[in-house]
Amino acid sequence: MPKEEGTAVAGFLISDTLSRIFTQTHSCFNILQIMKNLLTISVLCILFSGCKKNDTTPTVYVSGHLYQTCGGLAVKNQALYIYQLNAGSNSTGTLATGSTDSTGYFKIPYGTTNPINLIELRLGGGNYAVCTWPFYSRDIDDLNVYNISTCNIVVRLNVINPYTSLDTLDINDYRNLTNLKIPGPFTPGILYTANNYQILLPSYLSNSETGILEEPFAYRINHAPTFTIQPFRLKTCGTNEVVINIE
């Protein structure tokens, strides 16, 4: 029974039953009938609670293709499941299951009553997630996901103030996940390119794209007490540029 229909029917029946109870209280001989009516209310409440949609009733779906790597082969016949941490009364967190076909295509209907926590698409047989997204009240079509998600990152300097040889730029180095120290004076142009940088858990962005909406890029000059954060967008399988203004 749909929740809205169950609410209307149960509300009418309970109201009608209560009305009959109060019209009968003037006579002590109607006690037995009153008890029967109260029992009716209890039964209606139980039936009404049973009409409530559970956490995993499918309301939308996600579809797309699973590949091994960017530009790589499709992953065939791979078990998948949709997981949400703290998914309401569903203690396992598993909302739905599915698999890819011989072309790597999948389509998995799912639903949840928890619109807050993120949803993950995971590989069957473990807890490795290939993509995450907030719950949408709409379908996601043609999503491209990868067992290993990578991208290229180009770091470019826009030099407004070149500083001097006494100055030092500390900047994130995505080639080896360390900080790179650059002595002044600084020159404009491409500082470095990080190829095949792995995105550990990409998010759904739009259309068929995944990645990181705001990746925090950190830099500072002359060992400033705090780093300046320059957010930039990481697109899976794309070349992403971050421009740092040296002022």
pLDDT tens string 90-108 = 556 899 999 999 999 999 9
What is the residue-wise DSSP string for 31-87? HHHHHHHHHHHHHHHHHHHHTSPPTT---EEEEEEEESSTT--B--S-EEEEEETTB
pLDDT band, residue 33 (cuts 50/70/90)? low
Q: Look at 21-25, 39-43, 96-100, 209-213 and tell me which has the smallest mean pLDDT.
A: 21-25
The string of pLDDT tens digits covering residues 172-205 is: 999 999 999 999 999 999 999 999 999 999 999 9
> In angstroms, rounded to a whole number, what is the distance separating the alpha carbons of residues 226 and 52?
51
Q: Which range among 27-31, 110-114, 163-167, 207-211 has the greatest average pLDDT?
A: 163-167
> In angstroms, rounded to a whole number, what is the distance separating the alpha carbons of residues 216 and 205?
17
Give the whole-number percent of the chain exceeding pLDDT 90.
67
Residue 127 DSSP one-character state: -
Identify which of 227, 240, 46, 233 has the alpha carbon closest to the alpha carbon of residue 153. 240
Q: Is pLDDT at 5 greater than 80 in this prediction?
A: no
> In angstroms, rounded to a whole number, what is the distance separating the alpha carbons of residues 194 and 214?
17
CB 81 within 8 A of CB 98: yes
> In angstroms, rounded to a whole number, what is the distance separating the alpha carbons of residues 205 and 214?
11
> In angstroms, rounded to a whole number, what is the distance separating the alpha carbons of residues 66 and 108?
13
Q: What are phi and psi of 123, to 5 degrees?
A: -80, 140
Question: In the chain, at which residue ranges do the beta strands (DSSP E only) sit?
Answer: 60-67, 79-84, 94-99, 105-110, 119-123, 129-133, 140-146, 150-159, 168-173, 178-183, 189-198, 203-206, 209-221, 228-235, 239-246
